[in-house]
């Protein structure tokens, strides 16, 4: 199975900051990498699919990049509603493995 590793595991930032979260796959997954946001007690929400395609309704301050094994989610200017946990997920092959998550906290 493909392993997904996110870094950092947690991150403290302030409103207005530019934030970057990384995700690395144990083998190439081409561009088939998706990102989710989850808030406490809620189901995850899809942010981005296939590396850089923004899901409908997701603000344009979110962007994604990468290919092969290394991928990045960037929030250009952090807003109060962005404090949450973020997960990457490979959509290349079954099993559709997730990264372990990155918790974004208010500094």
Binding-site ranges for another protein (CB under 8 A)? 1, 30-34, 36, 38, 43-46, 49-51, 53, 55, 87, 89, 91-92, 94-101
Q: Smallest distance from the beta carbon of 72 to another protein, in angstroms?
A: 16
User: What is the SS3 string spanning 54-107?
Assistant: ECCCCCCCEEEEEECCEEEEEECCCCHHHCCEEEEEECCCCCCCECCCEEEEEC
Of 14 and 60, CB closest to another protein: 60
Taking the complex as a whole, the smallest distance from the CB of residue 64 to another protein amounts, in Å, to 11
Nearer to another protein, 19 or 97 (CB): 97
SS3 49: strand
Give first-to-last CA distance, the chain, whole Å.
Answer: 36
CB of 30 to another protein, least distance (A): 7
């Amino acid at each position: 199975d493909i392993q997904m590793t996110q870094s950092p595991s947690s991150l403290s930032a302030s409103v207005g900051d530019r934030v970057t979260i990384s995700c690395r796959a144990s083998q190439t997954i081409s561009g088939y990498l998706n990102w989710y946001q989850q808030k406490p007690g809620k189901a995850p929400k899809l942010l981005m699919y296939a590396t850089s395609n923004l899901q409908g309704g997701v603000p344009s301050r979110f962007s994604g990049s990468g290919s092969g094994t290394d991928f990045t989610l960037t929030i250009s200017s952090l807003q109060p509603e962005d404090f949450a946990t973020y997960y990457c997920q490979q959509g290349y092959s079954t099993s559709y493995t997730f990264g372990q998550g990155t918790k974004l906290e208010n500094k």
